Amino acid sequence: MGGVVVTSVERVDLAVIDGLATCGVATVHEAQGRTGLLASRLRPIYTGARVAGSAVTISAPPGDNWMIHVAIEQLQPGDILVLAPTSPCEDGYFGDLLATSAQARGCRALITDGGVRDVRDLTQMNFPVWAKAVYAQGTVKETLGSVNVPVVCGGAHVRPGDVIVADDDGVCVVPRETAVEVLEKACAREVLEEAKRLRLANGELGLDIYSMRERLKEKGLVYI
Amino acid sequence: MGGVVVTSVERVDLAVIDGLATCGVATVHEAQGRTGLLASRLRPIYTGARVAGSAVTISAPPGDNWMIHVAIEQLQPGDILVLAPTSPCEDGYFGDLLATSAQARGCRALITDGGVRDVRDLTQMNFPVWAKAVYAQGTVKETLGSVNVPVVCGGAHVRPGDVIVADDDGVCVVPRETAVEVLEKACAREVLEEAKRLRLANGELGLDIYSMRERLKEKGLVYI
Amino acid sequence: MGGVVVTSVERVDLAVIDGLATCGVATVHEAQGRTGLLASRLRPIYTGARVAGSAVTISAPPGDNWMIHVAIEQLQPGDILVLAPTSPCEDGYFGDLLATSAQARGCRALITDGGVRDVRDLTQMNFPVWAKAVYAQGTVKETLGSVNVPVVCGGAHVRPGDVIVADDDGVCVVPRETAVEVLEKACAREVLEEAKRLRLANGELGLDIYSMRERLKEKGLVYI
Amino acid sequence: MGGVVVTSVERVDLAVIDGLATCGVATVHEAQGRTGLLASRLRPIYTGARVAGSAVTISAPPGDNWMIHVAIEQLQPGDILVLAPTSPCEDGYFGDLLATSAQARGCRALITDGGVRDVRDLTQMNFPVWAKAVYAQGTVKETLGSVNVPVVCGGAHVRPGDVIVADDDGVCVVPRETAVEVLEKACAREVLEEAKRLRLANGELGLDIYSMRERLKEKGLVYI
Amino acid sequence: MGGVVVTSVERVDLAVIDGLATCGVATVHEAQGRTGLLASRLRPIYTGARVAGSAVTISAPPGDNWMIHVAIEQLQPGDILVLAPTSPCEDGYFGDLLATSAQARGCRALITDGGVRDVRDLTQMNFPVWAKAVYAQGTVKETLGSVNVPVVCGGAHVRPGDVIVADDDGVCVVPRETAVEVLEKACAREVLEEAKRLRLANGELGLDIYSMRERLKEKGLVYI
Amino acid sequence: MGGVVVTSVERVDLAVIDGLATCGVATVHEAQGRTGLLASRLRPIYTGARVAGSAVTISAPPGDNWMIHVAIEQLQPGDILVLAPTSPCEDGYFGDLLATSAQARGCRALITDGGVRDVRDLTQMNFPVWAKAVYAQGTVKETLGSVNVPVVCGGAHVRPGDVIVADDDGVCVVPRETAVEVLEKACAREVLEEAKRLRLANGELGLDIYSMRERLKEKGLVYI
């Protein structure tokens, strides 16, 4: 039933975090073995944002945004709020006032498996949100939740201090212990992809670049 | 089974309606005690529109848009069409021809728990629609429905002449009897919010501005 | 269980295809008797695209994009890839590398009842995709599917060589045998609609233009 | 934001209510002009129950079942609780203890657009529930709602004292003012249906019984 | 827009059809290469039914069940009605009267991507239905559809005369041309499965029976 | 990308597990502070089962059930299989043959956020399954996953050896470290509830038993 705020959270170096942002969600997801994606129902409120940050997690009851105020005090520059309702809810937990407060403390984004409102203002403030719904429904401040405890958000396990990467493709979480390694793999992957892109753009086929023809034949593929 | 058109609808003064549009959905919703929101599945076909108007309601059978033609004759400048299918349906009841006709009579928008089509044309015409789906599926003109009777649209009860407010956050209905009072509360709310926004932007915390710390402690919140 | 690639596909003349693109989804759908629409869950990754092309179909297992590589070899300029997972799946079968390859061969778009990723890159490349989900989830290359066999995609039956039309309203399929006839009807429809649009814009009512009043009365419509 | 309990509710005579129960949902729905159905997502927790009663309505915040306790005091024998969350929620607002209390006061069923739990116990108690979800998620008692105010439940407008009819086909609401008239029509309908059933069972066709052939031909139906 | 009834439908021999019923959906689906399943949203109204029959298909507008009457005349003993709405709809197209009529003509079941009502009566009549929804919503008889044309139902392509197999696992369609071959394969599969079942029941592992260990190791599976 | 099987899993004492089964999902969920529920979309294939067991977890690619064979070897009497697809999938990963094998090794149930098939056989075998879908769709054996690693299943974090409790209300996970404590609290809760049940059955009101009237008044509840 909540009621805990963890105040000491280990965070990954911002240089690593910013590197992951540059790689983007799809590449980071591949670089860590196709893991860590949040559900596709979490969509950005506007296109073009690409951010990364350290997760400050919130476990909140349905329709109660009290804990967001508590969480904002725990924010450090470069953080991202990750809000997981304790049961399915699409109420508008977060709007322009909370965004103003979070942004003032250096928060880069909100990720939520709930709803968001004031999306026009948030867009003008350049404060990106990935949410399950846009819904103006107001919330109360009556019941405790917790801040900086492990949560499941969008079907992914997120611990405080894990790195969140988010862009138009969705949201991905990188465990803080492997962030450096994932960044290295992601960068390496980008170099490889760039080479392939050139060959594909020149009309070479993936069938040949990746030497797939033999294996397809073995599996029994027939051309008619 | 429908078959009724109510021709005399009491409407709210346009100055009040336009004032509510300026406040926007989230503020109006809060100002009337967190009531009146339509379901989040009703989304705008393009971003940036913010409108209000008097509801001209339509109860229509699934896949039958005949009543829209009937409803358009009942439109007055400043009205908004509210179309509720009698059972779940996402067919494209409404497109650019009907929008041309509605716009010619001063209609400001369509709200529907069904589908819409010709969204590119509607966007170019600057005719906003909040709908459950974008779907080109054509409809027939065979079965009667009703115009200007109370309907449930997007899970909200809407009576003809009620004020509809719609923006990027969704759609809200304000009963016409309380529209003036809600406008006053909404405006007062906006003033208060502006003051809070400044303090939050300066780094003050909601925990302090709203004096939440004591009550959180009483509820048992623990910092670790 | 798949394993077949049909290499000879009859295609419709590109002039016909391009004519259908100009008419757009809603008009084409009406012109062929309100048939051929794919489900409304297939949405464009960016607005404003309007394309048509010959379907190169792909039947692919969930989470396995191997067959896309096979299909790309079968592409001719003016084609559109139509990818139907064999069971519901929203994984990101397709991203910027595959788009680069497809675009190099003259492919105009991808239609899929699955997921897509790298949507920012695809948007910059001007390669439109209509998909059920944006989802970065990676896929494997282990199990055969088929290319250029009839598929059901988005609830519509699509055969290789059928014409796909797609725009902001969604996606429509035109059987290749009737493409010329549908184009003629669509063009005729556009002319008629233009005439009606002018009358409606001038304030004439659909009730009068379409002579509906008598039939509404017969059905029992009552004005109160 | 709630906070009101209306203690005087006009109810329909129990003989009428029980007559409507006997007719069942489909017949009653037809008898009142195909109106009044709640959404199909409200399903019974066990099959075979067929009940009717006077609505005691509850408007409750998401995840907060406090108002059910308040509502139970307002119950009279023959009543049915109708619980509408103020925003989408599937938490288990109601279980065996509340059912025991409600049943002790003569309550016949619960209808909810939220969740229910303890369904095994409820089944053994013979206390039927129509709900959106079976979900054990516990709720709090912190925020006021209202009792015996008009609500929208499952997309239908329900006022306190309206008659609720529920069976395996779902749930229907009959406005208390028309309950007698609807019962008469429903009974008449049953008699007619019985006669038709016999003819159909003997192999006569609806095409002939309802004289449809001529009209189908006029509409253009072609046999190949 | 419909309007066609095909009166001559080639059907598969009833012995073959009944054989397929005995094998059941999962086995038949596997026997024909894991194809032919209808979407999982089509659920039986009661458990325990296992049927097969020749498809008599219906393409019907949303909320209009007129064509069912037309289709019933086309039924022969051993047939199954397959009803596909032309756009998503969950109205109750079919109830006990139509079931009485269909059953009188030897019809074995209804498969529909729409809704059904009177499920208590249908259960008592032992007339099984697989449907997307149970919903009492009544329908009209105004717009033509077609009977015995190819349809997409539940995401599967069904032609008149194809064999439908349905049980608690869902619904599968077998093209009439391959029904005999599929039956043979399904029977063979059953024999093989029976042998495996005994070994598995005795505690042998699938890893050994299917010789999976070596391939798992090659793929890189590691035991810790 | 998977590829790991953890062979040593700490399990909770079976007496504790069986005690938790007796308490049932709703009580256990409350006893551990309203945490641990899996999503309501996981439903039992038949009613009346109430089981508990130690989780043997499986992370499996969409449409690939190879890892179930691997997991079955890891089963001990009293275990429950928990299968989490790596992306949303409703294919029928599991049927009667795998159930025979699992049951032979003492497995008590399967919990899956995917699909299941052969539900008639599974019911006759008395092997309960909680699944997202009943769907006969076959799967392949091509890609590695992992066994006995932490997974998110139905939105809940499940580690190997955690206790799973499942009944008609759904599924709950109890961390193995707190299982004894949760059992104690659950038993205490049952005693308390029994006392309350008697009072409620005698017509006492929750308003009085729980002394709610004063606090409701303070919050502003008004009786009209």
Task: Indicate the residue of A63, A90, A137 with minimum beta-carbon distance to D63.
Answer: A63
Cβ C81 vs Cβ C102: under 8 Å? yes
Q: How far apart are CA F144 and CA A34, in angstroms?
A: 13
Chains that touch A (3 or more CB pairs under 8 A): B, C, D, F
Closest among F166, F196, F173 to F48, alpha carbons compared: F166
Residue of F nearest to A1 (CA): F33
DSSP assignment letter at D132: S
DSSP secondary structure letter of residue D7: -
Task: Establish, for the pair of chains B and C, how many residue pairs have beta carbons separated by less than 8 Å.
Answer: 102
Report the residue of C25, C40, C205 to disrupt the B interface, i.e. the one with the largest count of B CBs within 10 Å. C40
Please state the ipTM of this predicted complex.
0.95
F156 strand-pairing partners: F153
Alpha-carbon distance A145 to nearest alpha carbon in chain D (angstroms):
12
CB-CB: which of C62, C64, C142 is closest to F91?
Answer: C62
Structure tokens at B219: 């509820």
Mean pLDDT of C30-49: 97
pLDDT value at residue B33 = 96
Amino acid letter, residue C56: V
Q: Output the pLDDT for position B2.
A: 80
Cross-chain residue pair B157–D152, CB shorter than 8 Å: yes
The CA-based dihedral angle spanning residues D212, D218, D221, D224, taken in that order and rounded to the nearest 10 degrees = 100
b/e sequence F180-205, b meaning 16+ C-beta within 10 Å:
bebbebbbebeeebeebbebbeeeeb
Instruction: Please list, in sequence order, all residues whose beta carbon lies within 8 angstroms of the beta carbon of residue D85, skipping any fewer than 6 positions away.
Output: D60, D61, D62, D93, D112, D113, D114
Whether the predicted pLDDT of B23 surpasses 80: yes
Cβ burial, residue E196 (10 Å; 0-12/13-18/19+): middle
Chain A hits for D87, CB-CB cut-off 8 Å, are: 63, 89-91, 135, 137
| pLDDT tens readout for residues D115-170 | 999 999 999 999 999 999 999 999 999 999 999 999 999 999 999 999 999 999 99
**Cα F35 to Cα F173: distance, rounded to the nearest angstrom:** 8
Chains A and B touch (3+ CB pairs under 8 A): yes
Give residue ranges of F with CB < 8 Å to any D CB. Answer: 24-26, 29-30, 34, 37, 40, 43, 47-48, 50, 167-170, 172, 193, 196-197, 200-203, 205-207, 210, 212, 216, 219-224
Residuewise pLDDT in 10s, chain A (224 residues): 589 999 999 999 999 999 999 999 999 999 999 999 999 999 999 999 999 999 999 999 999 999 999 999 999 999 999 999 999 999 999 999 999 999 999 999 999 999 999 999 999 999 999 999 999 999 999 999 999 999 999 999 999 999 999 999 999 999 999 999 999 999 999 999 999 999 999 999 999 999 999 999 999 999 99
Structure tokens at C169: 């309203």
**What chain E residue is nearest to F93 in terms of C-alpha separation?**
E26
Amino acid at C58: I
Q: What is the pLDDT of residues C187-208, one digit of tens each?
A: 999 999 999 999 999 999 999 9
In this complex, do D29 and E118 lie within 8 Å of one another by their Cβ atoms?
A: no
Residue with tokens 């065979």: B142
d(CA E13, CA E7): 18
Name the residue facing A63 among D61, D90, D135 (closest C-beta).
Answer: D61
Q: What is the pLDDT of residue D2?
A: 80
- Supply the pLDDT for residue A172: 98
Name every chain E residue with its beta carbon within 8 A of the beta carbon of D34: 137-138
Q: Which of E89, E63, D222, E84 is nearest to C157 (CA)?
A: E84
Contact assignment for F87 to C87 by CB distance below 8 Å:
no
E203 min Cα distance to partner chain B (Å): 50
Give the per-residue pLDDT at D182: 98
Instruction: Give the mean model confidence (pLDDT) for residues C94-118.
Output: 98
E91 with E139: CB under 8 angstroms?
A: yes
**Pairing relationship of beta strands D129-131 and D43-44 according to DSSP bridges:** antiparallel
Helix or strand holding residue C184 (H, E): helix C179-201
Residues of chain B with pLDDT > 90, as a percent, come to: 99
Give the DSSP letter string of F49-88: --EEEEEEEEEE-TTB-HHHHHHHHT--TTEEEEEEESS-
Greatest C-alpha distance within chain F? 67
Give the chain C residue nearest A23 (alpha carbons).
C118
* Residue at token pair 């006053």: B184
- pTM for the model stands at 0.97
| Residues of chain E scoring pLDDT < 70 | 1
Q: What percent of chain D stands above pLDDT 70?
A: 100
Please check the confidence at residue D47 and state whether its pLDDT lies above 90.
Answer: yes
Closest CA to B113 of B134, B149, B83: B83
Give the amino acid at D111: I
What are chain E's partners, defined as 3 or more CB pairs within 8 angstroms? Answer: B, C, D, F
Distances (CA, A) of D211 to D204, D205, D214, D216: 12, 10, 7, 10
Q: Which residues of A touch D114 (CB under 8 A)?
A: none
**Which spans in D32-178 are helix H?**
66-73, 96-104, 119-124
F163 near F52, Cβ under 8 Å?
Answer: yes
Which residues from A are below 8 Å from D61, CB to CB? 63, 140
Q: pLDDT of B39-51, one tens digit each?
A: 999 999 999 999 9
Which residues have a Cβ under 8 Å from the Cβ of F65 and sit 6 or more positions away?
F93, F94, F98, F139, F140, F141
Name the residue with tokens 């009549």.
E125
- Give D5's contacts in chain F (Cβ within 8 Å): 221-224
Q: Are D54 and D109 in contact (CB under 8 A)?
A: no
Give E124→chain D minimum CA distance, Å.
11
Q: Give the pLDDT confidence score for residue A9 in this predicted structure.
A: 97
D-interface mutation test, from F132, F200, F204, F213, most D Cβ less than 10 A away: F200
Q: How many percent of chain B have pLDDT more than 70?
A: 100
Structure tokens belonging to residue F129: 């399954």
Q: Which residues pair with C174 in a beta bridge?
A: C163
Please state at what angle helix B14-23 crosses helix B179-201, rounded to 10 degrees.
Answer: 30
Query: What value does the mean pLDDT take over residues F107-117?
Result: 98
pLDDT 10s digits, E39-54? 999 999 999 999 999 9
pLDDT tens-digit map of E59-86:
999 999 999 999 999 999 999 999 999 9
Give E-chain residues touching B135 at CB under 8 angstroms: 87
Model confidence over A18-74: pLDDT tens digits? 999 999 999 999 999 999 999 999 999 999 999 999 999 999 999 999 999 999 999
- Is A92 within 8 Å of B169 when comparing Cβ atoms? yes
Three-state helix/strand/coil letters over chain A: CCCEECCCCCCCCHHHHHHHHHHCHHHHHHHCCCCCECCCCCEECCCCCCEEEEEEEEEECCCECHHHHHHHHCCCCCEEEEEEECCCCCCEEECHHHHHHHHHCCCCEEEECCEECCHHHHHHCCCCEEECEECCCCCECCCCCEECCCEEECCEEECCCCEEEEECCEEEEECHHHHHHHHHHHHHHHHHHHHHHHHHHCCCCHHHHCCCHHHHHHHCCEEC
CB C79 within 8 Å of CB C158: no
